């Protein structure tokens, strides 16, 4: 790359990073209490949480991973779009309102807060199990995002992988630590808007560069006919069906992963959730469809890429002038940062609020706890940074592993807790532990033997069966049925 080209990209990048730092300083005054630092004092409007939840849920997996998957498997990747649209729609219409009502009633600021209150867990077992699961998966998840940062800088600017990882980590840690959840949510809003615009424009320009839709289909047919098959290279076989089901299942995690549920806790009220729901669904449709179509166009235009996850940088460099290439670098970083900041806040809240305050030091001042939260955010980020520096991974599958671990542990329990009064504390514990462990065991020992079936499917099923089975054999919390009826009456 020539010097003026790089200078343009660097200039745009510096402006963007400057805006993020300013948002961090702006949010600083509201981050001096735990509720302020972790859920923005429950005062966010619906349009902010709509963009924030989708930007957080998608991450670099969307910009680099899903475009790369569209490049690799073509039409088969559209099953992911179907699953994510359904998952987001169900999350906002089925889960968000009762969850918001419960958490407001309990004055919860974290998901473990809610679960402990819902199941009357006076011994903190649910809280401790939640923290272990969150901490382990968030560290893995964050490392994958920082890996994407290294790839992005290397692809766009030709810098070293290590430089990219370090640059991304420093900026994210600064504005997250200083500004807390308010800075995270509003930076996610900015990042979500950028992602929306980029994934609206990129596939249109890519398809136009191929000569239009019909020539694109013809070119993909000549490269590999399987790129146009709904079940991909597997055809209508057991393996093909399981692959499609695995792709669809990715989206259903939106109904229970803690980093998404925290957005509903932070909403100003139930009306904000109603107002944000349509925007959230429209946003996810543009995000995912745009990513897959861009990858397919990229396969036609640049068929010989060694790393499919570099197709977005490749297209932005070849199809756009330098100023737009710089914007696409910013968009990739936006996807990374919008997830990492939320994960760091989630893990920090699990350690400081759910362990330090609730179990060991309930009388610590809000100011001291907020300070501990910021220090913990830095420590967790540093741990993920060490993991990211060590090895360059395939972002798509690495993110999905962490995503499925969180989803399998929490989604079955969250759904049962919201809609079945018979769910017991023992059932919730069994479901969380069983769902989480079965996900890890499946990846380590069984996945290759069962057509690479996505680990969230067995993890979710085990978590659900254990939650229901153990609950049927044990006693639900006293007053749970009456409480559920009151929640339903309030929401009518």
Residue 166 lies in a domain: yes
Q: Mind listing the pLDDT tens digit for each residue in 263-304?
A: 899 999 889 999 999 999 999 999 999 999 999 999 999 998
Q: Mind listing the pLDDT tens digit for each residue in 390-443?
A: 655 555 566 778 888 999 999 999 999 999 999 999 999 999 999 999 999 998
Residue 480 lies in a domain: no
Q: Per the structure, how many domains does the chain have? A: 1
Question: Mean per-residue pLDDT for 185-203?
Answer: 86
Residue 323 lies in a domain: yes
Output the pLDDT for position 278. 93
Output the pLDDT for position 424. 97
Dist. CA 376–CA 334, nearest whole Å: 23
Cβ–Cβ < 8 Å for 290, 199: yes
Residue 465 lies in a domain: no
Cβ–Cβ < 8 Å for 253, 405: no
Output the pLDDT for position 343. 77
Query: Is the model's pTM score more than 0.85?
Result: yes
Question: Mean per-residue pLDDT for 199-228?
Answer: 95
Q: Mind listing the pLDDT tens digit for each residue in 21-54?
A: 787 777 666 666 777 777 888 888 989 899 888 8
Output the pLDDT for position 135. 84
Q: Domain with 295 in it: what CATH number?
A: 1.20.1730.10
- Please choose, from the candidates 445, 61, 422, 484, the residue with its C-alpha nearest in 3D space to the C-alpha of residue 257: 61
382 vs 334, higher pLDDT:
382
Residue 207 lies in a domain: yes
Residue 492 lies in a domain: no
Output the pLDDT for position 340. 74
Q: How would residue 172 be classed by pLDDT, with cut points 50, 70 and 90?
A: confident
21 vs 59, higher pLDDT:
21
Residue 209 lies in a domain: yes
Per DSSP, what are the bridge partners of residue 44? 267
Per the structure, the complete domain to which residue 355 belongs is given by 3-396
Cβ-based neighbours of 369, under 8 Å, separated by 6 or more: 34, 352, 353, 356, 357
Cβ-based neighbours of 63, under 8 Å, separated by 6 or more: 148, 195, 198, 199, 291, 312, 331, 332, 335
Cβ–Cβ < 8 Å for 135, 344: no
Output the pLDDT for position 165. 79
Output the pLDDT for position 30. 65
Output the pLDDT for position 395. 58
91 vs 166, higher pLDDT:
91
Residue 185 lies in a domain: yes
The percentage of the chain sitting over the pLDDT mark of 90, rounded to a whole number, equals 42
Output the pLDDT for position 235. 83
């Amino acid at each position: 790359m020539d010097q003026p080209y790089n200078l343009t990209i660097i200039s745009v990048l510096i402006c963007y990073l400057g805006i993020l730092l300013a948002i961090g300083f702006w949010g600083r005054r509201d981050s001096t209490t735990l509720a302020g630092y972790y859920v923005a004092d429950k005062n966010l409007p619906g349009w902010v949480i709509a963009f924030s939840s989708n930007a957080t849920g998608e991450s670099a997996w969307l910009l680099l991973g899903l475009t790369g998957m569209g490049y690799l498997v073509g039409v088969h990747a559209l099953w992911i779009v179907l699953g994510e649209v359904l998952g987001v729609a169900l999350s906002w219409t089925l889960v968000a309102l009762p969850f918001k009502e419960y958490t407001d009633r309990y004055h919860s600021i974290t998901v473990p807060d809610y679960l402990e209150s819902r199941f009357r867990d006076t011994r903190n077992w649910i809280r401790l199990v939640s923290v272990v699961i969150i901490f382990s998966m968030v560290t893995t998840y964050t490392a994958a995002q920082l890996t994407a940062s290294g790839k992005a800088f290397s692809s766009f600017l030709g810098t070293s992988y290590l430089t990219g990882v370090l640059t991304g980590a420093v900026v994210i840690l600064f504005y997250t630590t200083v500004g807390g959840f308010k800075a995270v949510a509003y930076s996610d809003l900015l990042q979500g808007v950028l992602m929306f615009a980029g994934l609206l424009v990129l596939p249109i320009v890519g398809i136009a560069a191929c000569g239009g839709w019909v020539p694109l289909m013809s070119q993909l047919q000549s490269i590999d006919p399987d790129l146009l098959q709904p079940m991909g290279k597997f055809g209508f076989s057991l393996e093909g069906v399981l692959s499609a089901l695995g792709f669809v299942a990715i989206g259903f995690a939106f109904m229970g992963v803690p980093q998404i549920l925290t957005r509903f806790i932070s909403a100003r009220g139930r009306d904000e959730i109603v107002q944000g729901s349509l925007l959230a669904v429209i946003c996810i449709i543009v995000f995912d469809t745009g990513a897959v179509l861009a990858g397919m166009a990229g396969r036609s235009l640049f068929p010989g890429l060694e790393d499919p996850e570099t197709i977005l940088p490749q297209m932005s460099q070849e199809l756009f002038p330098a100023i737009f290439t710089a914007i696409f670098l910013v968009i990739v970083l936006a996807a990374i940062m919008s997830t990492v900041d939320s994960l760091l806040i989630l893990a920090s809240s699990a350690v400081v609020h759910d362990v330090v305050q609730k179990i060991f030091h309930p009388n610590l001042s809000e100011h001291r706890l907020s300070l501990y939260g910021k220090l913990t955010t830095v420590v967790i980020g540093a741990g993920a940074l060490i993991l990211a520096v060590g090895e360059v991974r395939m972002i798509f599958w690495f993110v999905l592993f962490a995503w499925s671990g969180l989803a399998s542990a929490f989604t079955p329990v969250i759904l049962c807790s919201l809609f079945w009064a018979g769910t017991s504390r023992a059932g919730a514990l069994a479901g969380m532990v069983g769902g989480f462990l079965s996900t890890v065991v499946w990846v380590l020992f069984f996945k290759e033997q069962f057509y690479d079936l996505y680990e969230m499917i067995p993890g979710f099923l085990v978590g659900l069966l254990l939650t229901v089975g153990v609950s049927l054999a044990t006693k639900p919390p006293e007053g749970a049925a009456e409480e559920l009826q009151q929640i339903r009456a309030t929401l009518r």
